[in-house]
């Protein structure tokens, strides 16, 4: 998993540097860096961290994301006790207004590394490559500190189709909706 996170980080850095090099001749070109924390994973025994690089004159940001969460009990079938998911993502967002505020639309790819546990404590792992499409709205609350409610849809494009956990069979959903709130800051 560390290799995947490193690969995603390098991919993000190379893409951003390539974009900067292509626009080096522009005197207006300015970059912004920022970070975000999503509240939902922390409530569900996990974590979320995102670092991003924005190209101000393009109103675009490149995000790399590392997250972990446990699905809430109401989302699990009765046969299962726990579903832990780690996600690694690279996403590109476009803002309709300057200064990374207001409405945004984003798209990217994620790698999901999951582990299921049944009622008898049997465990099995699964994985998925996922295409993500999301949108949100950034409200600046003080200086460059902001609140970002968002919604996304995740489409599994490759990976585990069935997972055997003890005597039980789990079929990951092809499409997963998500909604949450992030807190962020950019420098």
Model pLDDT, residue 4: 58
CATH code for the domain defined by 2-186: 2.40.160.20
CB-count exposure of residue 19 (10 Å: 0-12, 13-18, 19+) = middle
Q: What is the pLDDT of residues 103-133, one digit of tens each?
A: 999 999 999 999 999 999 999 999 999 999 9
Q: What is the pTM of this model?
A: 0.81
Note whether 177 and 153 are within 8 A (CB): yes
Token pair for residue 1? 């998993």
Query: Would you list the domain boundaries of the chain?
Result: 2-186
Q: What is the pLDDT of residues 129-162, one digit of tens each?
A: 999 999 999 999 999 999 999 999 999 999 999 9
Token pair for residue 23? 């626009």
Helix (H) or strand (E) holding 148: strand 145-159
Give the length of the chain.
187
């Amino acid at each position: 998993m560390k290799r995947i996170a490193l690969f995603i980080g390098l991919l993000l850095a190379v893409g951003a540097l390539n974009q900067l090099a292509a626009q080096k001749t522009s005197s207006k070109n300015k970059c912004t860096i920022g970070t975000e924390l999503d509240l939902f994973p922390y409530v569900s025994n996990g974590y979320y961290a995102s670092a991003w690089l924005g190209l101000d004159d393009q109103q675009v940001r490149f995000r790399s994301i590392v997250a972990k969460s446990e699905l809430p009990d109401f989302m699990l079938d009765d046969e299962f006790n726990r579903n832990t998911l780690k996600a690694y993502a690279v996403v590109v967002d476009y803002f309709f207004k300057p200064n990374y505020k207001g409405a945004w639309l984003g798209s990217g790819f994620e790698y999901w590394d999951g582990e299921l546990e049944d009622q008898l404590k049997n465990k099995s792992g699964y994985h998925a490559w996922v295409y993500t499409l999301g949108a949100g709205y950034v409200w600046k609350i003080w200086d460059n500190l902001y609140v970002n409610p968002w919604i996304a849809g995740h489409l599994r494009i490759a990976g585990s189709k069935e997972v055997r956990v003890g005597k039980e069979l789990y079929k990951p959903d092809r499409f997963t909706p998500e909604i949450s709130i992030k807190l962020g800051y950019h420098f």
